[in-house]
Chains A and B, each alone.
Chain A
Amino acid sequence: MSHINDILAALTPLHLALAVLGVAAGTILGAIPGLTATMAIAVLVPLTFSMDPTTALLLMGAIYTGAIYGGAYAAILLNTPGTPSAIATTFDGYPMAKRGDGDLAVTIACLSSVFGGLVGAAVLLFLAPPLANVALAFGPVEYFWLAIFGLTLISAISSGALLKGLIGASFGLLLSCVGVAPISGSPRFTFDSTTLLGGIDVVSGLIGLYCIPVLINLVARPERHLEIQEASRGFRLPEAIRLCFSGGINLIRSSLIGAFVGILPGAGGSISGLVSYSEARRASKTPERFGKGEPRGIQASESANNATVGGGMVPTLVLGIPGTPPDAVILGALLVQGIQPGPAMFSGHSSIVYTFIYGLFIATILMLPIGLLIGRYAFKSIVTFPKAVLVPIVAFMTIIGTYAINNSISDVMVMIVLGIVGWVLERLGFQPSPIVLGLILGPIAEQGFVQGWMIGGATGDPLSIFFSGPLAIGIFVLILASLFYPIIAGRLTRGAKESDDARSL
């Protein structure tokens, strides 16, 4: 009975109105490069103090969901992830937009986001207390291996140019070392400049490396940004639904990966999107189509990053440990409200938590019509805007967005310098994704390694801790599999081919 009451509480006109508003505002904010889900929620926090905790949570959840989806627009239409979560969406989203299927790509992104969001919310509803323990099982050693596993994705995302991918990732790892060191607290590679003290923020790296080269190219080349379609083709919804149905397993796998990665504190939507993208490619019978406008690439990335919303709430609400950066802000707001997250919220059937979870379902479902509508306008605007208008507007927004990360001009300078470096590198055949991957994973690997080494050192054996425990060994095996899979798979297909050839003789 109490569940029905919670569903009804989530369906009050006020809550529905806030869900619509939250999803719409989140989508628009997420679409702007630099304005992330974390920031959208932080701006809103003072507003939530005048609300009761349930309403506040609902609104923050709706904004979060919308912002993660909104990041897909810029990824698809401008080849620039609107939020870090949308990095993997650029791989196939932009090629699709280039060949004139931008409208279809946006619709697929919306359907996949809704699907992933629902899976994440379902995980939160049914499995939160047992799964929260997964977050605790991940110690420094496991994070170290997870980061190394993440680095093996380079081969999946550097489409053929493996050596350049490795060089790019090393460059990214090096960039991640700049600033006050996470463990020792002493400044590194700052050359006594206060600009570099804060290090290179992932978001300013993202905007610099992805967006600035796109802008320079737009100005440098005479052709249009994206081809204008003769006649409007609507949402292309039936086509998108058909594609999603045929990729059902991909959607389910990606959503589960997304929810799982979301549960791990310290790994968010960007990592879940990249991991599920590379798994989708690995599982595909036609991996060569990935990176060239394969709808399944978008499905994987977008369903996974929205599934992290529900997943990240698991440790936040059960343990009081934020699963993703936006969750940290939500948790802070709850503490100010005097709400104590903990397992008792689930075992004691707290109506705050359950009303919120049902509200998250409703907000996610509402994202379907809202997302499709906003997506259509975003698509039409970006396709039909003359370049002379589009470029200055986007350039202006990149600067605003970068400034807004920490209210600091340093990030803007870093972004512009990286943008120029990125443009030069792109001309030399280097992709931005391996660099950003290094930038994201570097600190996770470094902290995990040093902490693991110190903890192991306390027992006098710093090395063996890295191979103790089923999780650490499990991830290590995954790394080996990921590294040697292409060789083994190549053998197998060659073997199959040879036997085919033999038969045809």
Chain B
Amino acid sequence: MRNRTMVATLVLAGTLVVPNLIKVTHAADASNYPSRPVHYVIPFGPGGESDITARLQQPIFQKMTGQNMIIEYKSGGGGAVGWSQLNSMKGDGYTIMGTNLPHIIVKPMMGNVGFKTKDITNVYMFEYTPDAILVAKDSPFKTLDDLIAYAKKHPGMLTMSGSGSGTANHLANVRFDNITGAKTTYIPFKGTGAAYTALRGGQVKAEWGYSTVAANHPGEVRMLAVATDKRMEIFPKVPTFKEKKIDMVGGAYRGVAVPKSTSEPIRKKLSDLIGKINADPQFKKSLAKRGFVELNVPYDKMDAFMKKQTAKYTELVKKAGLVH
């Protein structure tokens, strides 16, 4: 009787953790892949954009394959902890990991973070959150032109919050200042949530965020411009940077990567699978509703995509003074 609590706690602890410790090994076979649950490791904590999109993929994956998708978190170091361990994981297709741009390009340039960009085998990039400039609903800046005019008149006085250094937000700020000739002050915060809080609290005058921020807080913020090719369906009134003659299209890209030892057929099959999830109407709808923009870069187009992005971000990182 008295041992009951102990036994209960042990059993609970066991069911929580042991499946992660002991992974049953099977021969990797591409033809019937996936024939058992797939572990999807998110290199960030729960609740962020990467987690939310993985949670949206999860039911579609299960519907399509009949197999479970188990989402795990391996956070730390802004993703570095997870990515530095990716290649030591079993390359049988049953352990896959979330991958993010520009993180995997910029982080290794800023110091030894335990992995290099080429160590990450990306198999599919499936969505991105476009960069956006947001202001509080009662801000005097009604349009992007108001904001640029202020920043030009008062160099450095326009404070803009954003998530982290060397991130999509930070580099968007560098590019924006470069193109427009405005001089703003970028203040890094820990994550999009904290950057948004600083905007709402009036600690900064504007925020570098994503379209998702505007989608999650309707009526509270005004999005002045968004870095998409064409206006977003859910924000028909928000102009793109392109319309304002500012050549900015992009943001934070999210995809799926596998350990280097994963076989070519499995990489290919996984890429097809993620592409099929993207084609699912329900998934498309739930992505768009939350401010995400669907993206389709399959495995065979990945090299060209990464090459282009690497060139773009390398230049920005240098301009930002993050590496010398």
Contacts and interface: CB of A to CB of B under 8 A. Distances in A.
Highest count of chain A CB atoms <10 Å: which of B14, B158, B201: B201
A179 interface: yes
Contacts of A381: 2-6
Interface stretch (B212-220, B253-261, B266-274, B302-310): B212-220
B9 interface: yes
Interface residues of A, number: 76
B13 A187 contact: no
A408 interface: yes
B157 A458 contact: yes
B165 A185 contact: yes
B58 A46 contact: yes
A457 B185 CA distance: 9
Contact of A335 (B113, B167, B185, B216): B216
Interface residues of B, number: 75
Nearest to A403: B17
Contact of A35 (B3, B16, B85, B159): B16
Interface string B142-164: 00000000000000111100001
A483 interface: no
Nearest to A390: B6
B77 A35 contact: no
Interface string A192-233: 101001110100000000000000000000000000000000
Given A135-B197, A332-B48, A406 B189 contact: no
A374 interface: yes
Nearest to B88: A194
B181 interface: no
Given A194-B85, A401-B13, A180 B74 contact: no
Nearest to A42: B46
Interface string B84-128: 110000000000000000000001001111100000000000000
A180 B43 CA distance: 14
Interface of B: 2-6, 8-10, 12-14, 16-17, 20-21, 41, 45-48, 51-52, 55-56, 58-59, 71-78, 80-81, 84-85, 107, 110-114, 156-159, 164-167, 185, 187-190, 193-194, 196-198, 200-204, 216-220, 286, 289-290
Given A46-B55, A340-B218, A407-B72, 17 more contacts: A25-B12, A45-B55, A180-B77, A180-B78, A185-B167, A187-B113, A194-B81, A201-B76, A319-B200, A322-B47, A342-B217, A393-B6, A393-B10, A406-B74, A407-B41, A408-B81, A458-B158
Interface of A: 25, 28-29, 31-32, 35, 38-39, 42-43, 45-46, 49, 135-140, 179-180, 182-187, 190, 192, 194, 197-199, 201, 265-266, 319-322, 325, 328-329, 331-333, 335-336, 338, 340, 342, 344, 374, 377-378, 380-381, 384-385, 393, 397, 400-401, 403-404, 406-408, 410, 447, 451, 454-455, 457-459
